[in-house]
Amino acid sequence: MDFTWDVKKGEANATKHGILFTVAITAFDDPFQLRAPDLKHSGSEKRQWLIGEADVGVLVIVFTIREPGNIFRIISARKADRSERRHYEQNKGISL
């Protein structure tokens, strides 16, 4: 898997949420990750969200897949809140 992100956006995300994108991408290795389209925030690009276990705990990551090459562009990453962690624990491994 290849990843990319805007450096300034990554720095702003780390300041706001305390999560580095270099750490967040470890959630993509979670075999029990949950993914779904982010219909609420998709405009010209189809955004998706992922809830998965990373090196720092359960995270919510918003991303898009860029063609060609299926490059994952990270938009934001933060720690999952209580309800998101519960959703992950109850549904992990189930395709949404």
Taking only the tens place, the pLDDT of each residue in 55-94 is: 899 999 999 998 888 899 999 999 999 999 999 999 876 6
Q: Is residue 66 part of a domain?
A: yes
Q: Is residue 42 part of a domain?
A: yes
Q: Which domain holds residue 84?
A: 2-91
Q: Is residue 96 part of a domain?
A: no
pLDDT in tens, 30-62: 999 999 988 776 677 789 999 999 989 999 999
pLDDT, residue 93, reads: 60
Tell me which residue has tokens 């995270």: 59
Q: Other CB atoms closer than 10 Å to residue 7's CB: what's the count?
A: 9
Lookup: tokens for 45: 């690009």
Q: Is residue 48 part of a domain?
A: yes
**DSSP helix/strand/coil, 70:** coil
pLDDT, residue 31, reads: 94
pLDDT, residue 42, reads: 65
Our count of domains for the chain comes to: 1
Q: What are phi and psi of 35, to 5 degrees?
A: -135, 150
List Cβ neighbours of 5 (8 Å cut-off, separation of 6 or more).
21, 73, 74, 75
Residue 13: pLDDT band by 50, 70, 90 thresholds? very high
